């Protein structure tokens, strides 16, 4: 029976844990774990409750003596030692357990990945290793011994003695169990060094499997840049003698910030021009930074409980986004962040899985590592920074590090720091953390002309729809950045931030010469849906002249979405304004290729479906697909010459560099290719495939070829050349279901799933194929239900093996209720089949229950 955990039920742990000593005798099926925990009661008479799951307990002693068995109570996942068995002063609890890393396919706790012992303890994995208070507010220094014949033996902190067969590590910084890590295996290091701002020398290593060393260099460079950036921008220095990064192939998510020993999914470490795309390089840099930044925001200051997850994740995402905009282009970074936010978080907020950045209840915490906690958590910090100003933000962060170093904190602690540093009352702002749902902000304009000049009145109003468990949504404070653009295309005022803190608000702008075009929500100043009726001419003006890159991009996006929605509704010729405006834009596209690539990319089908649904229209996936295809073809036909020029001009000969400049030119070139393929049937794509000098060009060409069903030869060549490179073969498994025509995609996916190299227990491989298909909107939502069935079949197969990854992927169904009756029927049947499984994991059970509840 699932139990719901409530934020309101938080109780501090009644013992202090002063030191944790662990000894591991590693063996694949029978690893022995000895633990010595030094406790001291804080509340007299409290029982000691420890967490543990799947442990074979061999012994348990208190201060060296076995307690009376009547004093011990085991239940589902806890061991309770009666207060009566505990000494009054400090005592040491010693346990010996045996665990089985080899059969650990859930990849939680200690497991084997390709012969390498590794751990994943966030959020509640440590209880699979030993009996422990497995909660983030119990922090202790760790001493760890590892006995093993493996050549490389790593844990958190600093090495004390590393000899063949036995290594000892000491982590002096008190930390919760979720930050524990151990790695043992045949690994090779790319070594380097970093000197900190106070002159301390740190040894850095990126550990990979022998043979992968030539692909580790980029990750190391990213690490050094991150260390320097955190010193320069936040004044944060690294605090151990060593920093290790390890790449493993089997990993449930991207990477993990374990103290001094970050463990990564190998796809977020390994890169060479031949095997990784520009996007891969960009993600590697961002995730290396993210995990490194956690050293302060997450590790030195951690979370009191898992309801506070966005305290560390929202802030760390915000920091990694700042880092990427400093390393690359701030404009491109902002637009990409908005694209992801809308595609993942707005979608989540609008459906049955909606929850606030700080949830107040959960059954399985692993289901709350969501776009809302991460990406919306970051947006909320961006708003806070905008409201208090850059200087105040830095002052508040300094106070945060100062006041809370070494503590396990809450969102209230975080907000209090801002209140104390700035004097601002954040009571209303706090709703961003506690209330789910995306506010809709409506902007209305009124124009009044007198002799003295014109007056523009802007009225903003806000409304947030009910979300599961939260029927009422009081007004929040919403910063709306506004610019005014005159008829000549010039800015009439500096950008102004309007603070909407009531259901409606009104602002007047006086003394204007002529009626300006309002450029609203500049920089995407708040995570809201903006309703602003702008005509096509005004949008075209913004696309041509707006100095705010986000608003400029958004103007083009609005034109494209209007055209797509009209075409979906049967107006086959809609979009002249959009096509015309893009023509003007293309003339100057070379000025900022990365930005131009974003403007040229049509909105994804899922976003079109969302917009239709918002307007009360039941989205028809086939009509949406046809509309998008036809608009792309018309766009290509209208601008064939300009696109062909861009395609030629953006060629990047010479040695590959993943830097922002060259990768931006490749991005624009590949957008042009994608459009031109609709005219040349794939001739250019085939030519590019044949002479591609790097994986970015290769994947751009391949996706275009698969889209026009000309991919067979290229795919065969890819397989012949890269059969033994797992990361490249993951791309092979993803591109086909994703880019194939929707009518074929399910069959394509099914054929791929029959291949012997569809190693479905590997999360990367599973996700490549299954998420590749769910990303193909019209294929996953096929009218006959075949997409739903195929995905459900595989989720049913994966659940007993790997609940975490299964549950994450169930969210592909989160929009199921918005489609027509027939599709809803198929989706409900598929979800019900999952729900009805005997022994369904707690993870997946919570997800399907929440999804099915939305169906009424």
Residues involved in catalysis = 291
Q: Does 605 bind ligand TRP (CB under 6 A)?
A: no
Cα end-to-end distance, the chain, whole Å = 23
Half-sphere exposure of 844 (CA within 13 A, CB side): 29
- Distance (Å, whole) CA 314 – CA 760: 31
- Distance (Å, whole) CA 173 – CA 462: 46
Smallest distance from Zn ion to CB 550, Å: 25
DSSP letters for 39-74: EEESSTT--EEEE-SS-EEEEEEETTBPPPGGGEEE
Smallest distance from Zn ion to CB 294, Å: 6
Smallest distance from ligand TRP to CB 374, Å: 7
Smallest distance from Zn ion to CB 299, Å: 11
Residue nearest to ligand TRP (CB): 253
Comparing CB distances to ligand TRP, the nearer of 369 and 595 is 369
Comparing CB distances to Zn ion, the nearer of 285 and 313 is 313
Task: Count Cβ atoms below 10 Å from residue 327 Cβ, excluding itself.
Answer: 19
Stretch that binds ligand TRP, among 248-256, 318-326, 765-773, 832-840 (CB under 6 A): 248-256
Say which residues have a Cβ less than 8 Å from residue 467's Cβ, sequence separation at least 6. Answer: 349, 354, 355, 436, 437
Half-sphere exposure of 313 (CA within 13 A, CB side): 22
Task: State which of residues 17, 154, 179, 256 lies at the interface with ligand TRP (CB under 6 A).
Answer: 256
Smallest distance from Zn ion to CB 91, Å: 35
The two tokens of residue 662 are: 């060259």
Alpha-carbon distances, residue 855 vs 781, 828, 829, 851 (angstroms): 16, 8, 11, 7
Comparing CB distances to ligand TRP, the nearer of 180 and 251 is 251
Alpha-carbon distances, residue 117 vs 177, 249, 285 (angstroms): 18, 12, 25
- Element (H or E) spanning 460, and its range? strand 453-463
- Least Cα distance to 667 among 602, 592, 594 occurs for 594
Smallest distance from ligand TRP to CB 312, Å: 8
Q: Taking CB within 5 to 8 Å according to partner kind, which of Zn ion, ligand TRP, none is near residue 253? A: ligand TRP
Comparing CB distances to ligand TRP, the nearer of 116 and 827 is 116
- Range 274-303, binding ligand TRP (CB under 6 A): 290-291
Comparing CB distances to Zn ion, the nearer of 316 and 686 is 316
Smallest distance from ligand TRP to CB 378, Å: 12
Comparing CB distances to ligand TRP, the nearer of 370 and 768 is 370
Q: Pattern 98-127, binding to ligand TRP, x per CB under 6 A?
A: ----------------------x-xx----
Length of the chain: 856
Stretch that binds ligand TRP, among 206-214, 218-226, 249-257, 440-448 (CB under 6 A): 249-257
Comparing CB distances to ligand TRP, the nearer of 138 and 256 is 256
- Distance (Å, whole) CA 683 – CA 675: 12
Q: Does 320 bind ligand TRP (CB under 6 A)?
A: no
- Range 804-833, binding ligand TRP (CB under 6 A): none
- Least Cα distance to 313 among 300, 335, 297 occurs for 297
Residue listed under structure tokens 């601008």: 639
* Strand pairing class (478-485; 496-500): antiparallel
Q: Taking CB within 5 to 8 Å according to partner kind, which of ligand TRP, Zn ion, none is near residue 369? A: ligand TRP
Hey, what's the torsion of the CAs at 137, 138, 144, 148, to 10 degrees? -70
Smallest distance from ligand TRP to CB 319, Å: 12
- Distance (Å, whole) CA 152 – CA 207: 9
Q: Pattern 306-345, binding to Zn ion, x per CB under 5 A?
A: -------x--x-----------------------------
Smallest distance from ligand TRP to CB 248, Å: 10
- Distance (Å, whole) CA 233 – CA 247: 28
- List helix spans (H) across 306-444: 309-327, 330-340, 347-349, 371, 377-388, 390-404, 411-422, 431-434
Stretch that binds Zn ion, among 235-243, 305-313, 357-365, 529-537 (CB under 5 A): 305-313
- Distance (Å, whole) CA 660 – CA 721: 28
Q: Pattern 349-388, binding to ligand TRP, x per CB under 6 A?
A: --------------------x-------------------
Comparing CB distances to ligand TRP, the nearer of 257 and 562 is 257
Q: Taking CB within 5 to 8 Å according to partner kind, which of Zn ion, ligand TRP, none is near residue 252? A: ligand TRP
Comparing CB distances to ligand TRP, the nearer of 122 and 605 is 122
Stretch that binds ligand TRP, among 90-98, 183-191, 252-260, 544-552 (CB under 6 A): 252-260
Task: State which of residues 104, 130, 155, 252 lies at the interface with ligand TRP (CB under 6 A).
Answer: 252
Residue 181 three-state SS: coil
Contact assessment for residue 559 and residue 543, using Cβ atoms and an 8 Å cutoff: yes
- Distance (Å, whole) CA 561 – CA 604: 10
Stretch that binds ligand TRP, among 98-106, 254-262, 345-353, 422-430 (CB under 6 A): 254-262
Contact assessment for residue 845 and residue 804, using Cβ atoms and an 8 Å cutoff: no
Alpha-carbon distances, residue 688 vs 88, 194, 371, 593, 817 (angstroms): 75, 41, 36, 19, 42
- Distance (Å, whole) CA 278 – CA 39: 50
Comparing CB distances to ligand TRP, the nearer of 254 and 569 is 254
- Distance (Å, whole) CA 237 – CA 229: 10
Comparing CB distances to Zn ion, the nearer of 296 and 689 is 296
Q: Taking CB within 5 to 8 Å according to partner kind, which of ligand TRP, Zn ion, none is near residue 255? A: ligand TRP
Q: Does 336 bind ligand TRP (CB under 6 A)?
A: no
Task: State which of residues 51, 124, 257, 799 lies at the interface with ligand TRP (CB under 6 A).
Answer: 257
Smallest distance from Zn ion to CB 259, Å: 14
Task: State which of residues 81, 202, 219, 255 lies at the interface with ligand TRP (CB under 6 A).
Answer: 255
**Number of residues in contact with ligand TRP under rule CB under 6 A:** 13
Task: Count Cβ atoms below 10 Å from residue 75 Cβ, excluding itself.
Answer: 8
Enumerate binding residues for ligand TRP (CB under 6 A). 120, 122-123, 251-253, 255-257, 290-291, 313, 369
Enumerate binding residues for Zn ion (CB under 5 A). 313, 316
């Amino acid at each position: 029976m699932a139990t719901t955990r409530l934020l309101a039920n938080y109780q501090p742990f009644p013992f202090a844990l002063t030191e944790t000593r662990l000894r591991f005798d590693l063996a694949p099926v029978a690893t022995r774990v000895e633990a010595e925990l030094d406790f001291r009661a804080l509340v007299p008479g409290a029982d000691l409750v420890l967490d543990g799951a799947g442990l074979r307990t061999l012994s348990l002693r208190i201060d060296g003596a076995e307690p009376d068995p009547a004093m011990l109570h085991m239940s589902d996942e806890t061991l309770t030692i009666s207060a009566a068995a505990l000494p009054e002063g400090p005592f040491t609890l010693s346990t010996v357990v045996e665990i089985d890393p080899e059969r650990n396919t859930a990849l939680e706790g200690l497991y084997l990945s390709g012969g390498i012992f590794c751990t994943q303890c966030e959020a509640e994995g440590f209880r699979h290793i030993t009996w422990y208070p497995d909660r983030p507010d119990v922090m202790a220094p760790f001493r760890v011994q590892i006995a093993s014949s493996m050549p490389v033996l790593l844990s958190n902190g600093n090495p004390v003695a590393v000899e063949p067969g036995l290594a000892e590590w000491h982590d002096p910084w008190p930390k919760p169990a979720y930050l524990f890590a151990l790695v043992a295996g045949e690994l090779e290091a790319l070594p380097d060094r970093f000197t900190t701002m106070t002159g301390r020398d740190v040894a850095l290593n990126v550990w990979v499997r022998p043979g992968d060393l030539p692909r580790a260099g980029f990750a190391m460079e990213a690490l050094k840049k991150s260390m320097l950036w955190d010193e320069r921008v936040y004044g944060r220095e690294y605090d151990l003698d060593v920093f290790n990064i390890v790449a493993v192939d089997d990993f449930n998510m991207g990477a993990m910030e374990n103290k001094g020993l970050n463990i990564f999914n190998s796809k977020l470490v390994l890169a060479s021009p031949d095997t990784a795309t520009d996007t891969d390089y960009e993600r590697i840099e961002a995730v290396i930074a993210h995990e490194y930044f956690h050293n302060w925001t997450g590790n030195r200051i951690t979370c009191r409980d898992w309801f506070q997850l966005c305290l560390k994740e929202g802030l760390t995402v915000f920091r990694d986004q700042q880092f990427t905009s400093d390393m690359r282009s701030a404009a491109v970074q902002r637009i990409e962040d908005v694209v992801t936010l809308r595609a993942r978080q707005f979608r989540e907020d609008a459906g049955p899985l909606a929850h606030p950045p700080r949830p107040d209840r959960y059954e399985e915490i692993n289901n709350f590592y969501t776009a809302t906690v991460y990406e919306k958590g970051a947006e909320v910090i961006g708003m806070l920074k905008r409201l208090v100003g850059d200087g105040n933000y830095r002052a508040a962060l300094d106070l945060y590090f100062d006041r809370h170093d070494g503590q396990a904190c809450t969102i209230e602690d975080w907000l209090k720091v801002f209140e104390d540093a700035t004097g601002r009352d954040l009571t209303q702002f706090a709703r961003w953390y506690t209330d789910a749902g995306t506010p809709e902000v409506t902007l209305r304009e009124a124009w009044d002309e007198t002799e003295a000049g014109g007056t523009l009145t802007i009225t903003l109003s806000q409304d947030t729809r009910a979300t599961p468990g939260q029927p009422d949504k009081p007004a929040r404070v919403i910063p709306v950045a506004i610019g005014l653009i005159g008829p000549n295309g010039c800015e009439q005022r500096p950008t102004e931030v309007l603070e909407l803190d009531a259901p409606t608000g009104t602002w007047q702008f006086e003394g204007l010469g002529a009626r300006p075009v309002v450029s609203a929500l500049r920089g995407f100043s708040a995570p809201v849906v903006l309703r602003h009726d702008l005509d096509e001419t005004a949008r075209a003006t913004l696309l041509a002249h707006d100095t705010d890159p986000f608003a400029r991009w958004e103007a083009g996006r609005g034109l494209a979405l209007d055209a797509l929605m009209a075409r979906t509704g049967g107006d086959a010729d809609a979009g002249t304004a959009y096509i015309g405006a893009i023509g003007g834009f293309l003339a100057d596209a070379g000025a900022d290729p990365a930005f131009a690539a974003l403007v040229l990319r049509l909105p994804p089908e899922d976003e079109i479906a969302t917009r239709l649904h918002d307007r009360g229209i039941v989205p028809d996936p086939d009509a949406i697909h046809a509309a998008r295809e036809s608009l792309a073809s018309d766009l290509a036909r209208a601008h064939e010459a300009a696109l062909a020029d861009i395609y030629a001009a953006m060629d990047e000969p010479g040695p590959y560099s993943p830097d922002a400049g060259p990768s931006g030119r490749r991005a624009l070139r590949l957008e042009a290719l994608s459009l031109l393929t609709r005219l040349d049937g794939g001739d250019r794509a085939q030519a590019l495939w044949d002479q591609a000098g790097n994986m970015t060009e290769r994947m751009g060409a391949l996706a275009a070829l698969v889209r026009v069903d000309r991919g067979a030869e290229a795919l065969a060549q890819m397989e012949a050349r890269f059969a033994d490179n797992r990361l490249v073969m993951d791309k092979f498994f993803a591109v086909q279901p994703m880019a194939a025509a929707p009518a074929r995609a399910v069959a394509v996916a099914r054929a791929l799933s029959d291949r012997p190299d569809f190693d479905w227990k590997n999360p990367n491989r599973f996700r490549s194929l299954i998420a590749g298909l769910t990303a193909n909107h019209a294929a996953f939502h096929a009218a006959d239900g075949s997409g739903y069935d195929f995905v459900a079949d595989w989720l049913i197969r994966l659940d007993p093996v790997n609940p975490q990854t299964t549950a994450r992927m169930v969210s592909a169904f989160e929009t199921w209720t918005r489609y027509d009756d027939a599709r809803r029927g198929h989706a409900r049947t598929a979800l019900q089949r999952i729900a009805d499984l005997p022994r369904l994991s707690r993870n997946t059970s919570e997800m399907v229950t929440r999804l099915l509840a939305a169906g009424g």
